[in-house]
């Protein structure tokens, strides 16, 4: 089943990257969860527009992250295996960025631990 899950992720990469891009953009801008957007705004100043342009496209997101690890768990969410990605990212060198998928569903995005802290849902 893990092999089939990997093939599925690879075959649906473009659609999954779009979902990840949208969720990551929202995560990054959500100041109530953390202070990333305020920090980015103050650090980039007049270059903020260039950064925002990157956020509009999945390819832009890919230029801001580096995939370190992909885990295909034997644990499930419903009947689907969970896939986690642990990434380095441009906005948080210490905690990184994590992505968790269950087939077509983007389960969560957040700090790097999201990508490897995979649990079972009954």
Tell me the average pLDDT across 60-79.
83
> In angstroms, what is the C-alpha Rg of the chain?
15
Cβ contacts of residue 21 below 8 Å, gap of 6+? 55, 57, 58, 60, 61
| pLDDT, tens digit (0-9, with 9 covering 90-100), for 102-118 | 888 888 888 888 888 87
Query: Mean pLDDT over residues 47-63, rounded?
Result: 85
**Mean pLDDT, residues 10-32:** 83
Which pLDDT belongs to residue 87?
A: 93
């Amino acid at each position: 089943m893990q092999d089939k899950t990997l093939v599925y992720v690879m075959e649906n990469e473009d659609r999954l990257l779009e979902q990840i891009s949208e969720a990551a953009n929202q995560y990054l801008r959500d100041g109530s969860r953390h202070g990333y957007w305020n920090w980015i705004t103050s650090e980039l100043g007049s270059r903020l527009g260039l950064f925002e342009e990157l956020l509009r496209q999945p390819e832009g997101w890919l230029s801001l992250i580096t995939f370190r690890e992909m885990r295909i768990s034997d644990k499930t969410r419903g009947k689907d295996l969970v896939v986690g990605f642990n990434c380095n990212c441009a906005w948080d060198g210490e905690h990184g960025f994590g992505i968790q998928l269950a087939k077509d569903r983007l389960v969560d995005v957040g700090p790097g631990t999201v990508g490897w802290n995979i649990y079972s849902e009954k």
